[in-house]
Amino acid sequence: MKRVLSEIILKFDGLVNYFIPETIAADRDARNRAHVFLISHILGPFIGNVVPAALFVFDPHPNFAVVVLAISITSFWVFPFALRAGAPYNPLALVSIQNLIFCILWSCYFYGGVTSPTVAWVLTIPILAFFYLGSSTKLRLIVIAMFVVNLAIFCGFYVFSYSAKTELPVAAMQGLGLVSTIAASLYVTMMAVYYAKIQASQADLESEMRKHMIVASELRSATEEAERAGAAKAEFLARMSHELRTPLNAVIGYSQILLEEAEDEGDDTSTADLTKIHNAGQHLLKLVNEVLELSKIEAGKMELDLSEVRIDRLLGDLIYSVEPQAAEGGNRVICTISPDVGSQRCDASKLRNVIGQLLDNAIKFTENGKIDVTASLEPGEDGNILVIAIADTGIGIAPDQVDRLFETFIVGDDSSTSKYGGTGLGLALSQKLCKLMNGDILVESDVGRGSRFTVRIPVAAKADATGTFAAATLVPESATSDPFVGSAPETSHA
């Protein structure tokens, strides 16, 4: 039963909301007033028509006065449709109040005058004026003026047209008074209940809004605190990276000098130790630079430095720099560049950083294999897209690790980490740099057969298609002439 009642209430609210125009629904106070207005006009005629129905019963000779009263009360059903059609709300509410005043005074005029059983309905006039028109003093004064004018007209007709009045038996007047009082009480109670419901709903809404405002204030404070913490972190990392790079450069420089002296003297033991020191310094300097770059990106302080870049020369320099490392692992590096690539406008430093990191990873995780580097242009929506792919024949990446590959400090499984090393910063930084350049890095991999990383960077279309490095091939001298697809335990790039 309770569920059925709830469904009926929901459907009735839907009916009421149907008649409220969007212009009124956007204003909470206006919507609440319109809601009460519509409820009184949808349900009111059912209660109000009890009075003319009682007159038909109690009046031995009912005449046109009863019919006019019934028509006037029934006409309240027209007002919701008028509101739905776009009639201005305040004038419509005033017309409705005028119709109510007419109904009350009409019934009083024909049935008892100031002692009429229907005079109790006069109390609904100020109540409905308050419900319909809110706190507007001007509109309330208009309602009072309307009532005074109507009352004056009523008194004039009552004094000079006595013969028009209808006299009912005492018992009929008592019965009419009982029915009229009950109907008026039901009507006022209904309106009060709905108004209280709306007020309670509004209070709940305001309470909920206050809670949301408190939460929003807390979120703003937390955001400001996070921004301050982020700025402090970025400043700390910038200072620390500077302080770390200064002694690291000294360590790398002096170890290089000592290494050259040891090599000249033929001291193999010292050469091996100094080589480890030098490599460790270089590795640590790379990590410091990566942390600084990540902090700049996260702080929003990283900017693009666009210039005309010869892609063939950039790739050639990178491949030349990794040749010793590739040769040490028995790998071949083969580079093929499409003739239409030529010069492109991009950030050379960031692109070099991204491709260099991917090359380092490909060489690190490949032994006695091949690394293919290809560069080409593809048409895009707003220009060309520079596509550089680095494919290796190394150990590959497990499928469950591909999705987490570009997360900060995420590396492969424990076996690959202990064997190959890695901090999980390189690929995360490369991906962020690509995003900064409105590009992306795509990954394809097959465990035991190798991986393919594809860098896609939007660039402006260029007419220069000449490239001295086009279709070039760089092969370390220590590598075999035929490509070799290596196999190794399952792991992931770091």
Pair 209, 319 in one domain: no
Contact between 416 and 489 under an 8 Å Cβ cutoff? The reply is yes
Examine residue 476 and state whether it is found in any structural domain, yes or no. no
Pair 210, 308 in one domain: no
Looking at residue 165, its pLDDT comes to 62
Q: Which domain holds residue 334?
A: 304-459
Pair 19, 160 in one domain: yes
Examine residue 318 and state whether it is found in any structural domain, yes or no. yes
Examine residue 109 and state whether it is found in any structural domain, yes or no. yes
Q: How does pLDDT run across 160-185, given as a tens digit for each residue?
A: 765 556 677 777 788 888 888 888 88
Examine residue 324 and state whether it is found in any structural domain, yes or no. yes
Number of neighbouring beta carbons within 10 Å of residue 423? 17
Pair 308, 215 in one domain: no
CA–CA gap between residue 274 and residue 254 (Å, rounded): 10
CA–CA gap between residue 132 and residue 141 (Å, rounded): 14
Whole-model pTM? 0.46
Examine residue 297 and state whether it is found in any structural domain, yes or no. no
Strand partners, 310: 343
The CATH number assigned to the domain holding 402 equals 3.30.565.10
User: What is the phi/psi pair of residue 171, to 5°?
Assistant: -65, -40
Question: What kind and span of H or E run contains 457?
Answer: strand 450-459
Pair 203, 320 in one domain: no
- Token readout for 84 is 């739905």
User: With the C-alpha atoms ordered 457, 460, 463, 468, is the resulting torsion angle positive or negative?
Assistant: negative
Q: How does pLDDT run across 270-312, given as a tens digit for each residue?
A: 888 888 887 788 777 777 777 777 767 766 667 788 889 899 9
Tell me which of 219, 249, 272 is where a domain ends: 219
- Token readout for 6 is 């709830």
Examine residue 158 and state whether it is found in any structural domain, yes or no. yes
Helix (H, G, I), strand (E, B) or coil at 373: strand
Tell me which of 149, 184, 219 is where a domain ends: 219
Distances (CA, A) of 122 to 100, 176, 193, 488: 9, 16, 19, 96
Percent of the chain with pLDDT over 70: 83
Pair 6, 137 in one domain: yes
Pair 45, 189 in one domain: yes
Looking at residue 271, its pLDDT comes to 84
Could you say which DSSP state residue 113 is in? G
pLDDT mean values, one per 10 residues, the chain (494 residues): 72 84 84 86 89 85 87 93 91 92 88 81 84 84 90 83 65 82 84 73 70 85 83 72 76 83 82 82 76 70 82 91 88 91 88 90 90 90 88 87 70 48 68 88 88 89 40 35 32 32
Tell me which of 173, 199, 219 is where a domain ends: 219
Pair 9, 154 in one domain: yes
Examine residue 112 and state whether it is found in any structural domain, yes or no. yes
Domains in the chain, number: 2
Q: How does pLDDT run across 102-123, given as a tens digit for each residue?
A: 998 888 888 877 778 888 888 8
Pair 185, 330 in one domain: no
| Rg of the chain, C-alpha, whole Å | 44
Looking at residue 186, its pLDDT comes to 85
Pair 205, 353 in one domain: no
